[in-house]
Amino acid sequence: MTQRMTRQGQVPPFAVIPGEQVHRVLSGQEKRTVELVEAAYRLHGEGATVNPPSYFLRFPDRPSSRIIALPASIGGDSPVDGLKWISSFPGNVAAGIPRASAVLILNDPATGYPLACLESSIVSAARTAASAALAADRLTRERERPRRVGFIGAGLIARYIHTHLAATGWEFDEVGVHDLSAGHADGFRSYLDRSGAAGRITVHERAEDLVRGSDLVVLATVASAPHLTDPGWFDHHPVVLNVSLRDLAPEVLLTAVNVLDDVEHCLKADTSPHLAEQLTGGRDFVDGTLYDVLTGGLRVPAGRTVVFSPFGLGILDLALGRYVLDEVRREGGLQVVEGFFHEVDRYGHAAAAGS
C-alpha cells in the first residue's frame, strides 16, 4: 500500500471493506466491541467528540422509508472523522431482504481525505448491541442480576443484542419473545435454539405478558409511536433497554429512572423521551446519561424501573469502523483502490509529467 507525494503532502490510500471482512473482524469479538463502545462513550462525556444532529432524507412518495446521515468525529488514541449513511426501507422485509442497509465513510483527521468505505449494517448492529449490553451490565449492578429477559421485536438487532449479552457473560433462566409477525418470532426462536441459549424459551402473543414476565426487557422494533402504554405492566421494576426509542408511552417513563446516551439527541423526533418532555414541559424526568453511570455520577436504585434510551451516536460507528480498518490493515487484507484520488496536484504538475 503506497502513498503518493504531492505539493499538498501525503494523500492516504482509499480502501473498500466489504461486509465479509467486517463480519470476520467483529464476529466473536463482542467483548472487545463493548470495550470500544464504552471508550467512545467516555470520550463523548469528556468532550473529545463531535456528534452533530442526524440528517434525515425523507420521500413524499415513500413515507415509511428514509435515509439518515450521521456525521461525527472522535478523538482519543485512534482519532477519525466520518459519516454513516444508513437507509431504512421497511418494504424490504416483505421481499425477503433486510430493512436497513448502510455504508460508513472514514476520513483521515490530518488531511480530511476519505480513508475507507465500509459496509456498515454489521457495524451499526454491533455498536447498537454493544451499547445495550454495556448498559444492561452497568444498570444492574445495584440489584439482583436479571435472569428473565424478554425481546419485543425479533429482528436483526434483537439477535445481535442477545449475542452480545451471551458473549459478555449473561445467562438466563427464561427468554421471552414477542413480535407482531409470528414468522419473525419463530425465526428468532430458531436462532435461540441454534445458538444453544440456555433457559426456557416462550413466544408470547401479548406484549403485556412478556413485560410482566421479564426482569430485563429489550425493545427492538420499528414502531413509530408508543404501544406500551400502561405503567402498571412495569410494577415489578425491570430494566428496560429502549433501543427502538418509540415503544414506550411517556407515562411509563415518568414512573422510571431514565438514563440516556445523549440528552439533546434523544429529546427529538418524537422519541419516547421527547414525548415525555412535551407532556411535562421540562426535562426533570431525565436522571442522567450512561456516562454519568460509568463515572459514578449517577447511581441507579434497585427499587425502581430503569429505562435506558440510546439515540445511537455516530461516534460509536466510527469507533468500531476504525477498529475494523486497523484490523484488516494489520492482517494485510486491505483492498486499496489505486488511483481513486486522481487530481492530487493543485496545479497539474503530476498529470503534465505523466503525459
pLDDT tens-digit map of 77-119: 999 999 999 999 988 988 988 888 999 999 999 999 999 999 9
Say if residue 301 is exposed, middle or buried (CB neighbours under 10 Å; 0-12, 13-18, 19+). Answer: exposed
Instruction: Give whole-number Cα distances, 17 to 21, 32, 85, 325, in Å.
Output: 6, 20, 15, 8
pLDDT of residue 2: 43
The mean pLDDT of 154-160, rounded to a whole number, is 94
Q: Within a 10 A sphere around the Cβ of 162, how many other Cβ atoms?
A: 27
* 161 — pLDDT class (breaks 50, 70, 90): very high
pLDDT above 70 (res 72): yes
Whether residue 120 has pLDDT greater than 90: yes
In this predicted structure, what is the pLDDT of residue 9? Answer: 52
Q: Please answer whether residues 147 and 176 qualify as being in contact, where contact means their C-beta atoms are separated by less than 8 angstroms.
A: no
Residue 148's H or E segment, with its range, is: strand 148-152
**Is 14's pLDDT higher than 80?**
yes
Window from 25-34, 84-93, 139-148 with minimum mean pLDDT: 84-93
Q: What is the tens place of the pLDDT at every residue in 225-235?
A: 999 999 999 99
pLDDT at 354 over 80: no
**pLDDT of 353 over the 70 cut:** no
User: Does residue 3 carry a pLDDT above 60?
Assistant: no
Q: Residue 183 — very low, low, confident or very high, per pLDDT cuts 50/70/90?
A: very high
Closest by alpha carbon to 154, among 211, 218, 91?
A: 218
Overall CATH class of domain 132-309:
alpha beta
Distance CA 302, CA 251 (A): 20
Q: 272-310 pLDDT, tens per residue?
A: 999 999 999 999 999 999 999 999 999 999 999 999 999
Residue 193's identity, in one-letter code, is D
Query: If DSSP states are collapsed to H, E and C, what string results for 84-101?
Result: EEEEECHHHHHHCCCCEE
61-65, 174-178, 292-296, 304-308 — which is least confidently predicted? 61-65
Asked if 247 and 226 count as a contact pair (C-beta separation under 8 A), the reply is yes
Enumerate the domain spans of the chain. 4-123+314-353, 132-309
Q: What is the C-alpha separation between 6 and 341, in angstroms, rounded?
A: 12
The CATH code belonging to domain 4-123+314-353 is 3.30.1780.10
Output the average pLDDT for the chain.
93
- For residue 252, is pLDDT > 90? yes
Segment 146-169 shows an average pLDDT of 96
- Enter the pTM of the model: 0.92
Residue-level pLDDT at 350: 55
Band of pLDDT at residue 315, cut at 50, 70 and 90: very high
Q: Please say if the pLDDT value at position 1 is more than 90.
A: no
